Structure 1
Amino acid sequence: MNGLDETTLLVVTPVVLVVVSTLYVVGVVRRPRADVVDRCWTLTFLAAIVTTFAYLASGASAAAWWATSLGNGAFVLSLGAIWSGARARAGRRSLLWVVTASAAVVALAALVDGPDGGPWAGGLPYLLGVAGWSLLAAVEFLGRSGRGGRPAPEATALGITCAAAGAYYAARAVVFAAGGPGSVAFERWFSTTTTTLVNLVLVLVGAFAMMALRTRETTVAAAVRFDPVLGTRTPAHLGRTVADPGGRAAGGPVRVVVLRCVDGAAVRDAFGHEGRDAAWAHLADVVLRLLPAGGAAGSDTTVRDEVIVVLPDAVDDARWVADVRRELLERPVDLDGDPIVLEIAEGRAAGGADGLTALVRTARAGLGARS
């Protein structure tokens, strides 16, 4: 591998690392809510950036010998955070504190060697740490899907990449322990140039596999949380939203309103199933437009023409329903060029948010009485 241009690799790698890390972090920031997986893998890229510039600093000045310790610890943290994110993705505790502790031990090992240790201060603990976390991450990705069933293709790519990196660093650790960084075998097969290339491939494949995997999983999660046509929450997610109200006491009083298009069957007969769905979507759109702060709207695809609304207890539900009716009157739905004013039936109930299912059942009973 000595034919590779080491200078070019050392210049290109930080640039590539910063670019792909920025892409991942920006993608996480743009999501409505970053979960534990996103936070762990964001830490992976931030720690990798710290690693790169720490090594550049240690190589540029003998006075910055301590930067080797920072770089070693940060790189172990970077690989360990991949493992933590993989665990969190599988629904288990991330154990990030274990990874952080291991990174601290690796950094301390380099500090103990002091300035006389040179660029390979604390080298063996560092290599073992990188190899260990890479291989453990590979086991998580290849041995567990995180969602049941077969692993996603992106997870498989991540697992193979981590396994390859782990095997490389494990072999590097063995050769390092046997002959040191100056041995012929180490210089020939595990030199800085070769390792830089391995790390570059790890960063590129890992970053884009992570981005693709998280995009896939957040899209699937959004489909579970929201009806893609109506824009309303699914019943299960509506229940979780009410149970985790964000500022309102869990189980506190709420008002539940169930609205249903009275003429849904007639609209279907006149305009077909597409017309009926358009009328239902129009009702949902009006509800979402008028939804007050702290409110939530849901729909159940097994109960057509209906929208379930949860309002804060302070909202006058009767007045709110009157506003919905007025909006429907002022904004008819266009069905095949005909403006149709939707007529709705209402059912209402009030009680604790922790009894949402019973409140919906009560509201539906009232809906039937008013229909």
Structure 2
Amino acid sequence: MTSLDTTTVLVVSAVLIAVVSSLFVLGVWRRGRTDRVDRCWSLTFLAAVVTTFAYLAAETPALWWATALGNGAFVLSLGAIWAGARARDARPPLLSLVAASAALVAVLALVRGPDGGPWAGGLAYLAALATWCALAAVELLARTRRRAGETVALGAVCAVAAAYYAGRAVAFAAGGPASPTFERFFATSTTTVVNVVLVVVGAFAMMALRTRETAEAAVSRYDAALGTRTMPYLESSVAERAARGRLGPTLQVVVLRLQDARELRAAFGREGREHARAHLAAVVLETLPGQALAGHDDGHPDELVVVLPGTADGDAWLQDVERTLVEQPLRLDGDTVVLDVRHDVRHGSADGLADLVASCRTAVAGAS
């Protein structure tokens, strides 16, 4: 491996890492909704890109400071894997700790000045890499509450990288970068290949893991047929928005019930009833005012629950729903059907959401 041209290997690795990193970040962007895991692991790849190009720039003596940039960026990159793994288990990611270690490594390289060479602050740099890889491996393989095949693959790669960088740090401390052991087993060209494998395998493991977990989260948050929130997600969304003051001190809860669901099933079969529910949900979502939320409870299949801010004009919105149902009737087997929908409205606080929904359901059932 030591016979490989270092600059060539760096160029090839920079291209590969840039492509793979772009694929991950693009996948996160296309999903739209991001969480702390996505942000941490996106930082992993953005920092990896900075690392590779910084080391290329450091080949020019006038850009000696790029070594410090590359060292700090790579520590940040690997530390962000650990942070994302913590966030995945709903623990604080502690990115500030990772950033502090990256800044320290960069400063230790910078204080050596132009004469420090490519190995300025090298021991601290290697020790930091080994530490963050080891911590990420422990987090993914031992502490995680959601172990999957992709998690094991990512954790295994981190464990291998931790062992490699720990060995490199020991060799560096024992004999320096010019020692025969270091040059034979831990040369820059060899390490670059190890880094490429780490980034590529890690990226595909992360992409597969996040794609699957995002799909699973969507199932738990939204009704696939109606497009409305599930009740647990509706309740958590209301609590979150109320805590941020986005719903006001009070809110309005509306329960809409499809009255002729049984008749539609008798006339058009089960699909007719399902089409009616979907049509009602589509109209509700189409007319929903800003900051309002709509949910569906599997225990009450013919009902929709809508939460409106206290400042919203609930009566005007309900009139809009009724008008839209008339103007856009449901078509079943060539017949035109205007849905019969009953509703009830209650006002109260977010803390009493469950009681408000229950009161609305009782009133709607009594009006049937």
* Short-chain TM bin: over 0.9
Return 5+ residue gaps in structure 2 as ranges.
Answer: none
Counterparts of 1:1-371 in structure 2, within 5 Å, are: 1-4=1-4, 6-61=6-61, 63-147=62-146, 151-245=147-241, 248-249=245-246, 252-371=249-368
What is the distance in 1 between the residues matched to 2:29 and 2:130? 30
- For the Cα contact (< 8 Å) 1:243–1:251, is it kept in 2? no
Shift of 1:113: 3.1
2:307 is paired with a residue of what secondary structure?
strand
C-alpha RMSD of matched pairs (Å): 1.8
Q: Distance in 2 between matches of 1:4 and 1:219?
A: 43
Larger mean Cα displacement after TM superposition, 318-327 or 8-17: 318-327
What is the total number of aligned residue pairs between the two structures? 367
Give the whole-Å Cα distance in 2 for the aligned partners of 1:259 and 1:193: 66
* One-letter identity of the residue aligned with 1:347: D
Q: Aligned letter for 1:261? A: L
Query: Residues 68, 316 of structure 1: CA spacing in aligned structure 2 closer, same or farther, 3 A cutoff?
Result: closer
Letter in 1 for 2:201: V
Q: Which moved more, 1:156-165 or 1:208-217?
A: 208-217
**SS of residue matched to 1:229:** coil
Decide which moves more: 278-287 or 316-325. Answer: 316-325
Identity in percent: 59
SS in 1 for 2:58: helix
Deviations 1:101-129 (A, max 9, x none): 21222222223333333111111111111
Q: Give the CA deviation at 1:306.
A: 0.8
Q: Secondary structure at the match of 1:91?
A: coil
Distance 2:150 2:358 in 1: 42
TM-score by length of 1: 0.93
Question: Structure 1 residues 219-228 or 49-58, which shifts more?
Answer: 49-58
CA contact (8 A) 1:252 1:354 kept: no
**Deviation per CA, 1:128-167, whole angstroms, max 9, x where unpaired?**
11011011101111113343xxx12111111111111111
User: Following the alignment from structure 1 to structure 2, what is the Cα–Cα distance between the partners of residues 191 and 360?
Assistant: 66
- Contact kept, 8 Å, 1:253 with 1:352, in 2: the verdict is yes
Displacement of 1:25 in angstroms is 2.2
> Does the residue aligned with 1:133 lie in a helix, a strand or coil?
helix
Deviations 1:321-369 (A, max 9, x none): 2322222222222223322221112122112233111111111111012
Tell me the amino acid that sits aligned with residue 256 of structure 1. V
Deviation at 1:95, TM superposition (A): 1.3
Check whether the contact 2:223–2:230 (CA below 8 A) recurs between aligned residues: yes
Distance (whole Å) between structure 2 residues aligned to residue 251 and residue 239 of structure 1: 16
Q: AA paired with 1:353? A: A
**Deviation sequence 1:269-296 (CA, Å, 0-9, x none):** 2222222111111111111111111211
For 1:66 and 1:269, locate their aligned partners in 2 and report how far apart those are by CA, in whole Å. 77
| TM-score of the superposed pair, with normalisation by structure 2 | 0.94
Give the drift of 1:29: 2.9
Q: State the shift of 1:308 in Å.
A: 0.8
